[in-house]
Homo-oligomer: A and B are copies of this chain.
Amino acid sequence: MSGSDRPLSEGEPILLYRKGERSIPLSLVAGKRVVQGFGVVDLTPAIGLREGDTLTVAGTPYTLLRPSLRDLIATWPRATQIVTPKDAGYLLYLANVSPGSVVIETGTGSGALTLFLARAVGADGRVITYDRRPEHQKVARERLAFAGVADRVTFREGDAAAGFQESAVDAVVLDVPEPWALLPAVVQALRTGGSLVTYTPTYNQLERTVRAIREGPFGEVTALELIERPLHVGEGGTRPSFEMLGHTGFLAGARKVASAP
């Protein structure tokens, strides 16, 4: 059964879609309220409708949709350093994440990677996300609640360097400035066969991380970066876009192939 058969229910995020406009995901709640870009609206009539149905707001008809992962992330401010989809997608692959996986992530940051992980592990999996900055956790927690996947995420404030509280997890993802400092904690928390992935912006960090990983009980070590090139299909033909993000981060991946000493 696919998602479209389910009627939209209160509390879900929805998208008021209209061609050519920027769509901002909204929480479907009953009653009047002020919504940025719309003024005072009452979304109550949308409850019980289905994706593809039309809702007229302030005289303008919109198509009702559930926001995709891409819709959800598109509206987050770029100011926060967000793990990009290209990196998140490859990171899930290196972390060997699938429905049911138990994954530790640190730091929580913007919550973008947390959302990717929470979606990928599904209702039977779990994401434990560490961050020492409560204000980061607060924003991320709200975003994951909005996306409807907060129930499968554990937020832990505090210093991962002191060790993770979990053990025998399937994967650990490090998005911190000094991943090498956390390797002892990773070795303790990760099950044998589990995966480690790191994400760092500089070559210096990547190099030190890879060298440290090689000295530990890890195998299948790999390092790479992904470059995303948007493409423009216009009247005059097709070409790469002039605008492009020049750099995000380097990925390193490894599997724990032996028990800790």
**A residues whose Cβ falls under 8 Å from a Cβ of B:** 1-5, 17, 19, 50-52, 63, 65-66, 68-71, 85-86, 88-94, 96, 98-102, 116, 119-124, 168-170, 191-195, 201-207, 210-211, 219-220, 222-233, 236-247, 250, 253, 255, 257-259
Q: How far is the CA of A240 from the CA of B161 in the complex (A)?
A: 28
- Beyond A219-B19, A233-B206, whether A246 also contacts B242 by CB under 8 A is yes
Of B203, B227, B230, the residue contacting A223 (CB under 8 A) is B230
- State whether B4 touches A191 (Cβ < 8 A): yes
- State whether A226 touches B93 (Cβ < 8 A): no
Q: What 4 new A-B contacts, CB under 8 Å, besides A2-B102, A3-B191, A204-B207?
A: A2-B191, A3-B101, A202-B239, A203-B204
User: What are 20 A-B contacts with C-beta separation under 8 Å?
Assistant: A2-B101, A2-B102, A2-B169, A3-B193, A4-B170, A4-B191, A17-B219, A65-B255, A66-B193, A68-B255, A69-B93, A89-B92, A202-B236, A204-B237, A223-B231, A224-B230, A227-B228, A229-B246, A240-B247, A244-B244
Contact residues in B for A233 (Cβ distance below 8 Å):
206-207, 210-211, 223
A78 to chain B, nearest CB (A): 11
- State whether A228 touches B224 (Cβ < 8 A): yes
- State whether B123 touches A239 (Cβ < 8 A): no
- State whether B206 touches A238 (Cβ < 8 A): yes
Task: Tell me the interface secondary structure of chain A in the complex.
Answer: mixed
Contact residues in B for A50 (Cβ distance below 8 Å):
192
A177 (CB) vs chain B CBs: closest residue: B236
Of B4, B194, B258, the residue contacting A2 (CB under 8 A) is B194
Contact residues in B for A96 (Cβ distance below 8 Å):
68-70
- State whether A51 touches B242 (Cβ < 8 A): no
Contact residues in B for A211 (Cβ distance below 8 Å):
233
A207 (CB) vs chain B CBs: closest residue: B238
Q: How far is the CA of A206 from the CA of B238 in the complex (A)?
A: 9
- State whether A63 touches B238 (Cβ < 8 A): no
Per CB-CB distance, the 8 closest pairs between chain A and chain B, nearest first, are A89-B89, A244-B246, A52-B192, A99-B122, A202-B237, A204-B237, A4-B191, A51-B193
Q: How far is the CA of A2 from the CA of B195 in the complex (A)?
A: 12
A102 to chain B, nearest CB (A): 5
- Beyond A70-B93, A203-B239, A231-B206, whether A191 also contacts B247 by CB under 8 A is no
- State whether A193 touches B257 (Cβ < 8 A): no
